[in-house]
Amino acid sequence: MEILYKSTRSNNQPVTASQAILQGLSEDGGLFVPTTIPRLDVSVEKLMEMSYQEVAYEVMHLFLSDFTEEELKNCIARAYDEKFDTPAIAPVVEKDGACYLELFHGATIAFKDMALSILPHLMTTAAKKNHVKNEIVILTATSGDTGKAAMAGFADVPGTKIIVFYPKNGVSTIQELQMVTQKGNNTYVVAINGNFDDAQSAVKRMFNDKKLETELAEAGYQFSSANSINIGRLVPQIAYYVYAYAQMCKMGEIEPGTKINVDVPTGNFGNILAAFYAKNMGLPIAKLICASNENKVLYDFFRTGEYDRNRAFILTSSPSMDILISSNLERLIYRIAGGDAVKNREFMESLAKNGKYEITEDMKALLDDFYGNYASEQETANKIADVFKKTGYVMDTHTGVAAAVYDKYKSETGDDRKTVIASTASPYKFGRSVIGAIAPEYADLEDFAMIDKLCELSKVPEPKAIQEIRNAQIRHNTVVDVDKMQDAVKKILGI
């Protein structure tokens, strides 16, 4: 069955999967959504025998129906290889009554690697299929994590270049080291004298600059974006929920067919939306638990039906969830609006103009699949410490938010169904906050001494991603002013 993709904001002609991946965002500003969600057509018993790569194929080929079997298997093989530090790719471990789906075994030890390892291959394959001759230039502004994960994915992928801008004084020492030591002859890192918003706005201006677009095309280039609204990032994320389910059956946690809950630490609503799609494919999922940190816009939305970003932005120890506009939520809004693009557009325009919108009672009734709650900084730290004390398992702060919310869910509902918690980062990635939770007496150690201590406490070997930056050579040292960002891009591309 051919699956096409349409915009959430207009009734424009649907496009193929490969076209949607190349475009990223629809021209009308909407997000691409599949016209139908395909049914998973392999049995759980069969899935239990499959490798991660095989499960990924079973899920992805249904959504990316204009890719040939050979093309897709090729993309999967190149993405999920030795870059991951375990052949399981996304292992499931049981600790203290919950199953943790570890999504942090890739190149940058956080869950963005799951999608950004494969996106470059999907994109270059999509370019070939659509007879795009230009070289693809990925342009990204980052507050630390996404830029690094995107570079790790695109490094040395033929037919692509990637340019990442980051705020010179706006990222952690470890994050900066991770970026400036990035290998690959097609990777470019530029620090700017400004903040993340400055970087983001300038990148958006370059994307919309028609004159620049023409100059690029004349030199054989075109821009593309690797951000989390691309369906080429969403679809690969569905696969690991299916894989986790099969693993839980293999572990004897559940019988094939038993429903589980899925609990996800949420920011942009991409990861949990992938779980929602998995449920709609027929994977036996009961509740989708949406866990927020103190930036609890989503919690308020699930309780009241009003999405309101007008509030103070709180810096927390789970920075990848410090978000007031969860872009991927639009795909859910569109769906509960009955696929009505006009209605969805009105909500999104209200969000842009007034910073808020309120859904109807009928729409609210369709949110039954979800449960939303949040954890404070203290609750998160307490949960990390508690699980460490009981089991020796050390989780990161984002995962800690989800684990703390799971406790609230259980005590509020009495539901004791088996639950999988998406574990989205290695504790090493946010080591200082993690140490602060489990052994605060060491929280002031210098960066690498702190990591040594974490290694001792967690008994988890230091990941390659950390080892690499200890002695790696600095390869990128360009710093520019915000108004010189476009010049920097031109210089890199030689135009």
Ligand X SMILES: *Cc1c(COP(=O)(O)O)cnc(C)c1O
**Closer CB to ligand X, 181 or 266, in the complex:** 266
The stretch near ligand X (CB under 6 A) out of 108-116, 253-261, 300-308, 367-375 is: 108-116
The stretch near ligand X (CB under 6 A) out of 5-13, 78-86, 215-223, 269-277 is: 269-277
Return the structure tokens found at 147: 């830029």
Q: Considering only residues 30, 270, 372, 463, which one is a binding residue for ligand X as defined by CB under 6 A?
A: 270
Report the nearest approach of ligand X to the CB of residue 53 (Å). 22
- 266: contact with ligand X by CB under 6 A: yes
**Closer CB to ligand X, 112 or 296, in the complex:** 112
CA 311 to chain CA centroid, nearest Å? 24
Residue 302 contacts residue 370 (beta carbons within 8 Å): yes
Report the nearest approach of ligand X to the CB of residue 71 (Å). 26
**Closer CB to ligand X, 122 or 249, in the complex:** 122
**Closer CB to ligand X, 149 or 216, in the complex:** 149
Q: Considering only residues 129, 296, 398, 432, which one is a binding residue for ligand X as defined by CB under 6 A?
A: 398
The stretch near ligand X (CB under 6 A) out of 61-69, 106-114, 186-194, 377-385 is: 106-114
Dihedral Cα 329, 333, 334, 335, nearest 10 deg: 100
**Closer CB to ligand X, 163 or 425, in the complex:** 425
Q: What share of the chain is helix, strand, coil (3-state, %, to 5)?
A: 50, 15, 35
The stretch near ligand X (CB under 6 A) out of 24-32, 189-197, 263-271, 362-370 is: 263-271
- 148: contact with ligand X by CB under 6 A: no
CB contact set of 491 (below 8 Å; sequence gap of 6+): none
Buried b (16+ CB within 10 A) or exposed e, 139-177: bbbbbbbbbbbbbbbbbebebbbbbbbbbeebbbebbbb
Task: Identify any residues that bridge with 34 across adjacent strands, giving them in sequence order.
Answer: 5
Task: Identify any residues that bridge with 264 across adjacent strands, giving them in sequence order.
Answer: 290
The stretch near ligand X (CB under 6 A) out of 69-77, 107-115, 174-182, 188-196 is: 107-115
Integer-rounded Cα Rg, in Å, for the chain is 22
Where do the DSSP E strands lie in 18-108?
32-34, 92-95, 98-102
- 84: contact with ligand X by CB under 6 A: no
CA 329 to chain CA centroid, nearest Å? 13
- 316: contact with ligand X by CB under 6 A: no
| Rounded Cα gap, residues 321 and 296, in angstroms | 10
H/E stretch holding 267 = none
Report the nearest approach of ligand X to the CB of residue 325 (Å). 11
- 110: contact with ligand X by CB under 6 A: yes
- 424: contact with ligand X by CB under 6 A: yes
- 400: contact with ligand X by CB under 6 A: no
- 145: contact with ligand X by CB under 6 A: yes
**Closer CB to ligand X, 24 or 267, in the complex:** 267
Q: Considering only residues 52, 57, 100, 111, which one is a binding residue for ligand X as defined by CB under 6 A?
A: 111
Q: Considering only residues 182, 187, 268, 316, which one is a binding residue for ligand X as defined by CB under 6 A?
A: 268
Return the structure tokens found at 396: 């990161």
**Closer CB to ligand X, 71 or 294, in the complex:** 294
The stretch near ligand X (CB under 6 A) out of 83-91, 267-275, 280-288, 351-359 is: 267-275
> What is the SS3 string spanning 313-355?
CCCCCCHHHCCCCCCCHHHHHHHHCCCCHHHHHHHHHHHHHHC
Backbone CA torsion sign across 137, 479, 209, 227:
positive
**Closer CB to ligand X, 71 or 102, in the complex:** 102
- 425: contact with ligand X by CB under 6 A: yes
317-336 residues in contact with ligand X (CB under 6 A) are 320-321
187-193 and 160-167 as β-strands: parallel, antiparallel, unpaired?
A: parallel
Distances (CA, A) of 465 to 53, 140, 294: 22, 21, 29
180-239 residues in contact with ligand X (CB under 6 A) are 228
**Closer CB to ligand X, 206 or 275, in the complex:** 275
- 8: contact with ligand X by CB under 6 A: no
Applying CB under 6 A, the site for ligand X has a residue count of 17
| Rounded Cα gap, residues 141 and 202, in angstroms | 9
| Rounded Cα gap, residues 259 and 282, in angstroms | 11
Report the nearest approach of ligand X to the CB of residue 180 (Å). 20
CA 145-166-489 angle, 5° bins: 120
Residues at the site binding ligand X, with contacts judged by CB under 6 A:
110-112, 145, 228, 265-271, 320-321, 398, 424-425
